[in-house]
Structure formats: C-alpha cells, structure tokens
Amino acid sequence: MKFLHTSDWHLGRSLYGRKRYAEFSAFLDWLSDTIVAEKIDVLLVAGDIFDTSTPSNRAQELYYKFLCLVANSTCQHIVITSGNHDSPSFLNAPKEILRALNVHVIGATPENIAEEVIVLNNTAAGAGAIVCAVPYLRDKDIRRVSAGESINEKNRKLVEGIMNHYSEVVSLAEQKRAQLVTNSISTISTQSIPIIAMGHLFTTGGKTIDGDGVRELYVGSLAQIGADNFPPAIDYLALGHLHIPQCVGGKENIRYSGSPIPMGYGEAKQTKSVAIVSMETEQPKIQLINVPCFQTLERITGSISAIRNRIEQLKVENSTAWLEIEYTGNEVIGNLREMLDEVMAGSGMEIRRIKNQRLMARVSKAINVDENLDELDVSEVFSRCLDTFAVPDENRSELIASYTEIIQSLHETDVNAE
C-alpha cells in the first residue's frame, strides 16, 4: 500500500489578525490532487488539524469538504489522530458517520486501547496494513500524580507512560497481524502486513524555530522520547507536532512531515513537504513531495534605507508578500508606520507587523507600550512578572514549574466535552 503522511494543518490559524483561509483551501486542493496523481491508498494526518479547540465554521467547512473529496477519490482510507491543539471530543463527535467513508478518527485515548489498532483492508488483497493510531497523549492519560513529586519524577513518569502506551498498542498490532496470517487461506505473511504507527509528541533532538508556535507538551522540557524508545516492530512512524520536516535520530522511517504552510515568519524560508511512503517491500520507500508556496511571507530587517530598498525591489517584482518589518537603525523614527505606508502605496503587498526596536528601547525598560499580546507568549509574561516583583532566583524554578503546570492543564481542557 502507498501512504501519504501529513500533519499540523492548523486550519483557522491567522497571522497577526490576517485570516489565512485562502492558503488553507489552496493547500487542501493541492493535497487532494496529489493523492489522486500519486495513487495514494492511505492518508495519515498526525494531529493539529485545527489551530484551536473551537474551530470556526469556515475551518470546519474546509475540513469536511476535503474529507468528502478524498473519500470519493482513489484513496481507500483516511486515518486522523488528534494533536495538542485539537479538541478530542470535537474530532470524535462525527467519527461514526465518517467511518462510513473509511475515515478513521482517534481524537482521544480510548478506554479500550485496542481501538487504536486499525486494520486497513486493501481492495486488491485483503489486509494491507495495520495502523497504530496513537493520538496526542495528554498528561492525565499516561501519568499518575503523586504528592510531592519533583519535576524530574514527573518527566520520568511521562516518558515511561508514553513508552508503555506505544509498547502496548504495537504488541496488540503484532497479535492482530499474527491472527490475520493464521486465519488467511492465501499466501499472506507477517512481512506483507506492515505496522504503521502515528503520534503527536516531541522527540529528543527535534528541530524547532523561534516563533513557530510549537510549545512544550508537558511540564518541563525533559519529557522527550528518543528514536530507540519506540518498539522495533514499527515499520514507519508518522509523527506530528514539530513544523520542520525531519527524521528522528537519523532513522528515515521515524519522521515528522512538518506543517504544510509557514505558521509564522520563522518558517518562511522552509521548504514544506508531505511524505509518501511505499510499503511494497520489507523496507519502506520514502519520497518527499514539496508543497507549493501559496502565500509569500517575508521578514525585512535593517535601517530605513535598507527597508525602503527591499520594498521597492519587491514592488518591481509585483510581489504580493505579507511583510514583517523590523527597524534596527540608530535614528529614532516615531512615524515609521506612516513612512512605510507611503513606500507600500500601489503595491499588492501587506505589512502584517512592524517592530521599531530603536523606539522600543527608548520609551520602555520592561513592557513596551508598543508591544501587544501577539508579541509575548505566556512564559514571557510570567517571567516579566517575576522580574517586576524581584522574585529571587532560588524561588523561581518551583514557581515556573507550577505556573507551567497550570497553563498545561488549561491547554488540555477539552472545552467541548460535557
């Protein structure tokens, strides 16, 4: 069977207030065309389908329209697992209806873990693959809390919980495969039924970029899994969460597909891709297909003359880029926005953000009047609070850990659940 691995769509995400539905729609159209052109049998989507737990009607429309389109194409199966941005109950709500379209959804860790083991039938020859559809594993799913435990103990329990979960699911998949072989009247063998696993987590050594919106999944930063921690029976592991396409620990068959469009200016220069995995032999054959750029993002940094020159150059090129501009010159310019609007006149470009570093440094020492919440994350806000109240360094680690745990619990609260 032939698989296409993608993740981290973040449908509904905006960029400094600018809606991006046209980009998402263009990507999904391209993806459905690619599925047909490449004769894909199975589509794997490894989490963060939506950007928030309460996606807009427009984001939902794009999602369901795409599923219907692909389900009626040459693609035989779609397997979707949740990410840390998704609402488990929201994804799970239509799962029984979607199953009629051969769309398999695992939005949360089920009470019966065997439900994560999905046998995909190949119309040509019975069972074609077994998928271990592991969703984002929330803290409460894999760790039992003990009073007075340290951060290191929490991280150790999290790592053990994740490893135990994969070990149990893959073991069930191996049992299912053996049963299929035993019950088969054909020449089917265990080697001809690959085990494909999915996951949404942070692996050791994973590459990120500042400003990509990828946040730590658990309290602390040590709850990461190495490539060798996954069961060796997995033929291919389709991962989500990190936005940079990459393999894990040098193993080509353990891979992040990455986000399909740049989620911020830090990703603007990345080559985005999806992974096509062919399981025609014992070793998976992996091919990366580059995703076209549907909306150019460009960051311009420098003096006012350097910024002007670059904008003029882009105008000559008839660019429609969305710009992030960071002025770093020595001169204090109070009307930078007005100056840039004049330079931009008559172009098809948009300025999505301006950072006036010289003015910021002059008028503020801590929190700048020119900053807004789009420019600060929750950790930076808390750090500044600690600075404001002169909290001693020796007291900060426990306060930060407690604060992080509260933020994590808020992120993992399923607002759509009863």
pLDDT per residue as tens digits for the range 113-130: 999 999 999 876 677 899
The total number of structural domains that make up the chain = 2
Which among 31, 119, 123 is positioned nearest to 70, based on CA atoms? 31
Its sign, for the CA torsion 252, 253, 256, 261, is positive
Range with top average pLDDT, 186-190, 235-239, 247-251, 278-282: 235-239
pLDDT above 50 (res 292): yes
Q: If pLDDT is split at 50, 70 and 90, which confidence band does 394 have?
A: confident
Task: Tell me, yes or no, whether 233 and 164 share the same domain.
Answer: yes
Do 249 and 232 form a contact (C-beta atoms < 8 A)? no
Task: Tell me, yes or no, whether 261 and 121 share the same domain.
Answer: yes
- Predicted local distance difference test score (pLDDT) of residue 215: 54
Average pLDDT over residues 351-379: 63
CA angle 244/86/256 to nearest 5° reads: 20
Task: Tell me, yes or no, whether 245 and 322 share the same domain.
Answer: no
Average pLDDT over residues 291-319: 95
C-alpha to C-alpha distance for 395 and 231, rounded to whole angstroms: 40
Write the single-letter amino acid at 364.
Answer: S
- Predicted local distance difference test score (pLDDT) of residue 12: 96
Q: Which of 131-140, 146-155, 215-224 has the lowest mean pLDDT?
A: 215-224
Q: Strand pairing partners for 120?
A: 129
Task: Tell me, yes or no, whether 270 and 190 share the same domain.
Answer: yes
pLDDT above 80 (res 144): no
pLDDT above 50 (res 220): no
pLDDT above 80 (res 355): yes
Examine the fold and report which residue of 266, 290, 314 is the final residue of a domain before the chain moves on.
290
Task: Tell me, yes or no, whether 99 and 48 share the same domain.
Answer: yes
For residue 418, tell me if it sits in a domain: no
For residue 83, tell me if it sits in a domain: yes
Average pLDDT over residues 194-219: 76
For residue 302, tell me if it sits in a domain: yes
- In percent, the amount of the chain with pLDDT more than 90 equals 61
For residue 185, tell me if it sits in a domain: yes
Which among 352, 373, 376 is positioned nearest to 19, based on CA atoms? 352
Task: Tell me, yes or no, whether 234 and 326 share the same domain.
Answer: no
Task: Tell me, yes or no, whether 279 and 308 share the same domain.
Answer: no
pLDDT above 70 (res 365): no
The tens digit of pLDDT for each residue in 97-112 reads 999 999 999 999 999 9
Interior/surface letters 51-85, b for 16+ CB within 10 angstroms, e for the rest: bbbebeeebeebbeebbebbbeeebbbbbbbbbbb
Examine the fold and report which residue of 254, 269, 290 is the final residue of a domain before the chain moves on.
290
| Tokens, residue 416 | 């759509």
For residues 22, 61, 245 and 70, what is the CA-based torsion angle, rounded to 10 degrees?
-110
| Tokens, residue 84 | 């840390």
Average pLDDT over residues 213-218: 55
For residue 264, tell me if it sits in a domain: yes
Task: Tell me, yes or no, whether 272 and 320 share the same domain.
Answer: no
C-alpha to C-alpha distance for 143 and 233, rounded to whole angstroms: 25
Average pLDDT over residues 43-52: 96
Average pLDDT over residues 381-394: 80
Which among 202, 277, 230 is positioned nearest to 40, based on CA atoms? 277
Task: Tell me, yes or no, whether 242 and 326 share the same domain.
Answer: no
- Predicted local distance difference test score (pLDDT) of residue 273: 97
For residue 176, tell me if it sits in a domain: yes
Q: Which of 36-45, 75-84, 394-403 has the lowest mean pLDDT?
A: 394-403
Write the single-letter amino acid at 332.
Answer: V
Task: Tell me, yes or no, whether 276 and 304 share the same domain.
Answer: no
- Predicted local distance difference test score (pLDDT) of residue 293: 95
| Tokens, residue 341 | 């609007």
For residue 150, tell me if it sits in a domain: yes
Domain containing 74: what range? 2-290
CA angle 336/337/343 to nearest 5° reads: 90
pLDDT above 90 (res 211): no
Task: Tell me, yes or no, whether 72 and 127 share the same domain.
Answer: yes
C-alpha to C-alpha distance for 102 and 40, rounded to whole angstroms: 14
- What CATH number should be reported for the domain holding residue 322? 3.30.160.720
- What CATH number should be reported for the domain holding residue 6? 3.60.21.10
Task: Tell me, yes or no, whether 187 and 61 share the same domain.
Answer: yes
The pTM of this model reads 0.84
Length of the chain equals 418
Average pLDDT over residues 200-216: 74
Examine the fold and report which residue of 290, 317, 347 is the final residue of a domain before the chain moves on.
290
For residue 232, tell me if it sits in a domain: yes
Average pLDDT over residues 195-202: 95
- Predicted local distance difference test score (pLDDT) of residue 189: 58
Average pLDDT over residues 313-342: 90
Query: 336: Cβ–Cβ under 8 A, 6 or more apart, which residues?
Result: 304, 327, 354, 356, 359
